[in-house]
């Protein structure tokens, strides 16, 4: 306890770190405040049916990602997921379309163009999703609409407000990245997930204690133990690495000797981090958007299974998408050829492997071998909420037994702790842990 208080004092004493934390808290407070600002013309007291609709199924998951803004008919109701969907499309285009490949190779200017195209596509997706959300709002919360309100005018103005709200969330995420303490987009999703945790935990406790045959406090404690085991497994998944030894040749420059030491390249078991599961989840939201939030009950059998996160078809497709996106994202983030060239340029080589092409092929082979089990384990953790639901865990609390929620929680928290640790150690303060190091999602430990 004493060490924790001392660490907090050290964090506060670092001016740059203190500013970043305060800025992050400010932006998070703005985001949470906006989640309760209801669309003009809506009576929030009449949204009971909408709350009931978003209490289970895929809409409950979508509501959790928006931090409850979806069920509140808030100006932030559509959240950050449209931007993530647009990012997926643009990254796929950057692989398949020569024009986007050329832009991607232009360095910083190319990155700005890619970001601009992503924002434009995000607005296009929002223009499609917003009317769908508003039609569902009319179906579920018709009495909440002002009787004198012109529906056409309401659709147009509310679509603009919802689109502006999502773009404002994107701006907040970028400011958290630049001025705050972490990856802003992931941090925004993290805040939305954490906001739903207390209510979900309370509902689960009440359910176990009040329902006959629910198991009572003993069953709840078993759930908590199992949840801790899943969290531990998720941390291992995020932090697991395969070290490849690299020997550096000796160089004599003047009277000084350089190199000669052996170092290691940490190749991550899950190099794509949580991005595959976020991308896959964004894809799984497409069917319910196309069908319409309020038309799920009248959809075909296959479509109904695709919008039911507890169905076999949904979880099989979800798991396969995660595996595919893991390979895809690993391929675009890990470049064995570039790593081989960098080693050769610095007089380094992998013992027993020729520099150049052979080294690149060796690294690629290792990445292929460790990516498969990593992607499968990621997929298993992702579909864990469905198994939790089978054992009677309420849908809201079951989302924290795996899936996107848990992995984002683990990944973003580790990233944030690593950044704080780096600031502390850089200024010769004790770290957050006695071991003095925390490894984030990038696989690099802060020493």
> DSSP letters of 143-179?
GGB-TT--HHHHHHHHHHHHHHHHHHHHHHHHHHHHH
Which pair of tokens denotes residue 335? 């470049």
CATH no. for 2-426:
1.10.3370.10
| pLDDT classification of 122: cutoffs 50, 70, 90 | very high
Q: How much is the pLDDT for 393?
A: 75
Q: Is the pLDDT of residue 296 over 70?
A: no
Q: Is 334 within 8 Å of 367 (Cβ atoms)?
A: yes
For the segment 154-201, what is each residue's pLDDT rounded down to a tens digit? 888 889 999 999 999 999 988 888 888 777 887 888 888 887 777 778
| pLDDT classification of 256: cutoffs 50, 70, 90 | low
Q: How much is the pLDDT for 430?
A: 60
Q: How far apart are CA 412 and CA 405, in angstroms?
A: 11
Q: How much is the pLDDT for 447?
A: 33
Q: How far apart are CA 85 and CA 281, in angstroms?
A: 9
| pTM over cut 0.85 | no
Among residues of the chain, what percentage have pLDDT more than 90?
A: 5
Average pLDDT for the chain: 77
Comparing 403 with 322, which gets the higher pLDDT?
A: 322
Work out the end-to-end distance of the chain between its first and last CA atoms, rounded to an integer number of angstroms.
22
Question: So where are the chain's domains?
Answer: 2-426
| pLDDT classification of 360: cutoffs 50, 70, 90 | confident
| pLDDT classification of 446: cutoffs 50, 70, 90 | very low
Q: Is the pLDDT of residue 260 over 70?
A: no
- Across 207-221, 244-258, 308-322, 370-384, least confident range: 244-258
- In the three-class reduction of DSSP (H, G, I as helix; E, B as strand; rest coil), residue 413 is classed as helix
């Amino acid at each position: 306890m004493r060490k924790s208080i001392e660490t907090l004092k050290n964090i506060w004493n670092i001016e740059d770190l203190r500013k970043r934390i305060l800025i992050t808290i400010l932006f998070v407070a703005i985001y949470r405040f906006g989640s309760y600002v209801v669309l003009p013309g809506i009576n929030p007291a009449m949204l009971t049916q909408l709350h009931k609709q978003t209490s289970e199924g895929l809409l409950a998951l979508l509501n959790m990602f928006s931090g409850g803004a979806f069920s509140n008919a808030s100006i932030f109701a559509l959240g950050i997921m449209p931007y993530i969907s647009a990012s997926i499309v643009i990254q796929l285009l950057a692989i398949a379309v020569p024009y986007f490949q050329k832009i991607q190779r232009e360095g910083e200017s190319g990155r700005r163009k890619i970001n601009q195209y992503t924002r434009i596509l995000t607005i296009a997706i929002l223009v499609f999703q917003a009317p769908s959300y508003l039609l569902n709002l009319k179906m579920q919360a018709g009495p909440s609409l002002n009787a004198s309100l012109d529906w056409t005018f309401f659709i147009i103005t509310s679509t603009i407000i919802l689109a502006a709200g999502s773009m404002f969330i994107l701006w907040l995420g970028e400011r958290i990245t630049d001025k705050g303490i972490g990856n802003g987009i992931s941090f925004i999703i993290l805040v939305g997930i954490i906001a739903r945790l207390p209510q979900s935990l309370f509902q689960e406790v009440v359910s176990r204690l009040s329902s006959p045959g629910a198991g009572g406090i003993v069953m709840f404690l078993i759930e908590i133990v199992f949840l801790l085991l899943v969290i531990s497994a998720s941390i291992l998944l995020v932090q697991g690495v395969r070290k490849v030894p690299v020997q550096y040749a000796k160089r004599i420059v003047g009277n000084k000797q350089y190199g000669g030491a052996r170092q290691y390249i940490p190749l991550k078991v899950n190099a794509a981090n949580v991005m595959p599961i976020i991308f896959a989840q964004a894809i799984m939201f497409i069917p319910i958007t196309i069908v319409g939030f309020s038309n799920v009950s009248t959809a075909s059998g296959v479509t109904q299974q695709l919008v039911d996160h507890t169905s076999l078809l949904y979880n099989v497709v979800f798991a396969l998408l995660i595996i595919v996106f893991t390979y895809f994202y690993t391929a675009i983030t890990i470049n064995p050829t570039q790593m081989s060239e960098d080693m050769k340029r610095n007089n380094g080589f992998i013992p027993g492997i020729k520099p150049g092409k052979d080294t690149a092929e060796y690294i690629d082979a290792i990445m292929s071998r460790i990516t498969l089990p990593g992607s499968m384990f990621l997929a298993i953790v992702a579909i864990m909420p469905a198994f939790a639901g089978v054992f009677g865990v309420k849908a809201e609390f079951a989302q924290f037994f795996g899936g996107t929620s848990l992995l984002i929680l683990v990944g973003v928290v580790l990233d944030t702790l690593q950044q704080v640790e780096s600031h502390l150690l850089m200024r010769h303060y004790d770290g957050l842990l006695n071991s003095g190091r925390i490894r984030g999602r990038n696989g690099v430990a802060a020493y």
